Structure 1
Amino acid sequence: MTKTRPPQAGPEILEQVQALLEDPDLQGHPLHEALAQLRDYALAQDQRLERLMRISDGYHLLERNHTQSLADRCDRQLRRMHKLARISDQYQKNLWEVTESLREAANQDPLTGLANRRFLMERLKDEIQRAERKHTPLVLCLMDVDHFKRINDRFGHEVGDTALCEIAGAVRQGVRRYDVYGRWGGEEFLLVLPQTSLAEAEAVIDRVRQEVGGITVGEGESLSLSASFGYTCLHSGEDPNDILKRADIALFRAKEAGRNRVEQEA
């Protein structure tokens, strides 16, 4: 049995077709016209692929290379596309990292790493809406470090900044994992205690007070820190400003009563 010869590469087949079309003995062959149309179609497709490759190669004009097979050209194009895909993936990753960094910068206090006032206000609004919707209690607490100016005056602002970072750590230790907390401004901190009664809140707040009381700063004649706390619960129909005002009243009363204490405002 005669074995069928495997098909040759694209350019060689076109050369054979061209030779058959130019053969004078085959001019009248019934398949001559169909073969000519097939050749023209193959050449047109080849030209179309060439144009697409030039465009995808960054608008650089490519020199036509008829010695390359169709398979080689496709393989080269696939490699280009794979390279572009890698570049695109890296770009998307970099963009995501920059976006996350900007988001953290917008919501985080740069010194302590806690949530900043802007983020706390947004979360307070969310928690108030959730408490109203689910009819669950919510407690808000304002905390102020006692006599913080003495630290800066005696030891300098660098020690004061270190103290604020240690206080931030004490707050982290004292609260629960689902509580919202952060630096409200200066030496003031804010605690939002969701699904918490006043009695439960007092236990959490006193734990934070004791954590802060365990901090000492400065060398030589060091200072032990303390903080005052004022807290209140959410009333139906209140907005953030209403509950913040009552917590601030309780905090003022704690300072007036001698500091290093927890006061409640109904």
Structure 2
Amino acid sequence: MTREDAALLSRVESLLADPAHARHPLRQALEALYHHHLEEKARLERLVSISDGYQRLAVENQQSARQGYDKIRRRQEKLSRISDGYQQLMREHNLALARDSTHDSLTGLPNRRMVDEHLKQEAQRATRHAAPYTLAILDIDHFKRINDRHGHEIGDRVLVAIARVMQGELREYDLCARWGGEEFLLLLAETRLEEARTILTRLLRRLAAVSIEVGDATLSITASAGLSEHRAGEDPLDDTLQRADRALLQAKRSGRNRCCITPTRG
């Protein structure tokens, strides 16, 4: 209500309350109009109150709906983060499984399974392009003696040290794998027998320079190797590798810490 409206009502109330106007012909009409105004004012106030209550309820419902939406959104975001984390974990787990299936857990080198695949590919490439390659079997000298004297933990350290040296010495396109126990297989791609012998001789010298600290003592390492160049049409495992294995036996019988070869022919 404005100030003017309030002043007008106050004047009307004064006129109705003044006995001097009790018999005025317009008093009855003015009083009826006054009471009608009061009723309309009360009705309007009730409507305003109802409207205000409805608006408050609407605002509360809106806030409640927003809070509910925000709660659901936060829950969905949490579930999305959990799902993303789980999927990432599964991807990492699958990658780890894939790596474990093709790599040795101790040295990190490829294992027999991976070697088999590479040998098949290399044999096919050699057949198509007449590209030479040489296989080498490398065996740690007196490895059983190392395990018996110093324990398997030191033996594992020796294997890891040898793996690191070979990975550092060989070319990027060569394959070095743990073949089993203290044996390692080397696939020297695009390499003839004499070049392979030079590579292995250098590698054996490098291995002989490795030393493992065992308490107050220093453990030296040597290895023997047998090499065989792949011949056209032969099976890499049944033929080429078997000849390399015989050359390894010859190296051990000849005093160890050396590499021997099998002839390209014969």
TM-score (norm 1): 0.66
The one-letter amino acid paired with 2:177 is G
Of 77-86 and 233-242, deviating more is 77-86
Of 212-221 and 141-150, deviating more is 212-221
| Uncovered stretches (5+) of structure 1, i.e. residues with no partner | 1-66
Aligned length: 200
Would the aligned equivalents of 1:142 and 1:248 in 2 still touch at CA under 8 Å? Answer: yes
Q: CA shift at 1:260, angstroms? A: 0.6
Q: 3-state DSSP class of the match of 2:139?
A: strand
Q: Does 1:201 align with 2:201?
A: no
Q: 3-state DSSP class of the match of 1:178?
A: coil
Q: Does 1:225 align with 2:221?
A: yes
Go from structure 1 to structure 2 and tell me whether the alpha carbon gap of 1:156 and 1:79 turns closer, same or farther (over 3 Å shift).
Answer: closer
Q: How does 1:1-266 map to 2 (within 5 A)?
A: 88-217=83-212, 218-241=214-237, 242-265=239-262, 266=264
The one-letter amino acid paired with 1:165 is V
In structure 1, distance between residues paired with 2:132 and 2:139: 24
Q: 3-state DSSP class of the match of 1:222?
A: strand
Identity %: 46
In structure 2, distance between residues paired with 1:148 and 1:105: 25
Would the aligned equivalents of 2:126 and 2:232 in 1 still touch at CA under 8 Å? Answer: no
The one-letter amino acid paired with 2:133 is L
Would the aligned equivalents of 1:230 and 1:263 in 2 still touch at CA under 8 Å? Answer: yes
Q: CA shift at 1:83, angstroms? A: 6.9
The one-letter amino acid paired with 2:229 is C
Would the aligned equivalents of 1:227 and 1:261 in 2 still touch at CA under 8 Å? Answer: yes
Would the aligned equivalents of 1:180 and 1:192 in 2 still touch at CA under 8 Å? Answer: yes
TM-align CA RMSD: 2.7
Which aligned segments of 4 or more residues in structure 1 are displaced greater than 3 angstroms?
75-92, 219-223
Larger fraction in helix: 2
Go from structure 1 to structure 2 and tell me whether the alpha carbon gap of 1:154 and 1:86 turns closer, same or farther (over 3 Å shift).
Answer: closer
Would the aligned equivalents of 1:174 and 1:205 in 2 still touch at CA under 8 Å? Answer: no
Q: CA shift at 1:200, angstroms? A: 2.1
In structure 2, distance between residues paired with 1:261 and 1:159: 23
Larger radius of gyration: 2
In structure 2, distance between residues paired with 1:152 and 1:90: 43
The one-letter amino acid paired with 1:256 is R
Would the aligned equivalents of 1:173 and 1:208 in 2 still touch at CA under 8 Å? Answer: no
In structure 2, distance between residues paired with 1:175 and 1:196: 12
In structure 1, distance between residues paired with 2:178 and 2:228: 18
In structure 2, distance between residues paired with 1:78 and 1:134: 61
| Uncovered stretches (5+) of structure 2, i.e. residues with no partner | 1-60
